[in-house]
Amino acid sequence: MVIIETVLGNIGDPEWAARLKDAEIDVLHLDQWEAQKSRFRKASRKGSVLAVSLSRDTHIRDGDVMLWDPQVPLAVIARIELRDVMIVHLDDLMHAAPEVAMRTCIELGHAMGNQHWPALVKGHVVYVPLTIDRKVMDSVMRTHAFEHVQYEFAPGTEVISYLTPHESRRLFGGAEGPVHSHVHEHGGHVHEHGGSAHSHREHRHG
């Protein structure tokens, strides 16, 4: 068992990306809730048991380097599965009568508040992380049938490229890792690609 008391860096950092280019990569898979914990014990994909004991103000991000052995060289990288996000589009309200737009926004906010759904408003879009089953959220939205409002569901990994670091921390609790970077493993190597705009899934519900 290896005790981890600090995060060494992140594969989004240029120096770590270069250091890990030819290193063997082991992965510590965490869900979003595990990533918020400062103390836990879990085995990596290759069987290394890590006893994580971080300061309470530290949250693990996707791509964090948890362990580094330069002799092999070998790194254990945290991989975090982000929750899906409901994306509520308010664009059509811009063309509705002012009283209709105002009523709809108030009703939408009231409904989300009643459900205790956290939400992030950015422009004409509201991002709501899935805190309950998707079918339940879909049922709530369909039941209210908000006028001039469309919505869709998308993976969290697709949404973060549209958010600033501050916004993504609010939406995902700091677990999303470096914003606008996408890192992939190929044969034990790590490759980073600069972020580009991805379109949300063209699957909306009226």
If DSSP codes are grouped into helix, strand and coil, which group holds residue 155? coil
pTM (whole model) above 0.75:
no
Rounded CA gap, 173 and 63, in Å? 15
Average pLDDT over residues 82-109: 94
Q: Quickly tell me which residue has 């975090």 as its tokens.
A: 80
DSSP H/E element including 166: helix 165-172
Query: What is d(CA 193, CA 203) in angstroms, rounded to the nearest whole number?
Result: 27
Using pLDDT thresholds of 50, 70 and 90, give the confidence band for residue 21.
very high
Which pLDDT belongs to residue 35? Answer: 78
Q: What is the pLDDT of residue 176?
A: 60
What is the rounded average pLDDT of the residues 97-114?
94
Higher pLDDT, 196 or 135: 135
Residue 9 pLDDT grade (very low, low, confident, very high; cuts 50, 70, 90):
very high
- Tell me the CA end-to-end span of the chain in Å, nearest whole number: 52
Q: Which domains does the chain have, with CATH numbers?
A: 2-82+160-194 (2.60.260.20), 85-154 (3.30.70)
> Looking at residue 163, what DSSP letter applies?
S
Tens digit of each residue's pLDDT (9 = 90 or more) over 34-56: 877 889 999 999 999 999 999 88
Q: Is the pLDDT of residue 199 over 60?
A: no
What value does the mean pLDDT of the chain take?
83
Confidence tier at 205 by pLDDT (50, 70, 90): low
**Higher pLDDT among residues 173 and 31, named by residue:** 31
Task: Give me the pLDDT at residue 159, please.
Answer: 84
pLDDT confidence of residue 195: 37
162: number of Cβ within 10 Å? 20
- Closest among 162, 172, 137, 175 to 61, alpha carbons compared: 175
Which tens digit of pLDDT belongs to each residue from 134-173? 999 999 999 999 999 999 999 887 887 788 767 877 887 7
How many Cβ atoms are within 10 Å of 17's Cβ, its own excluded?
18
157-164's contacts with Cβ under 8 Å and 24+ in sequence apart are 157/82, 158/198, 158/200, 158/201, 159/85, 159/87, 159/127, 159/200, 160/82, 161/195, 161/196, 161/197, 161/198, 162/122, 162/197, 163/120, 163/122, 163/127
In this predicted structure, the answer to whether residue 174 has a pLDDT above a threshold of 60 is no
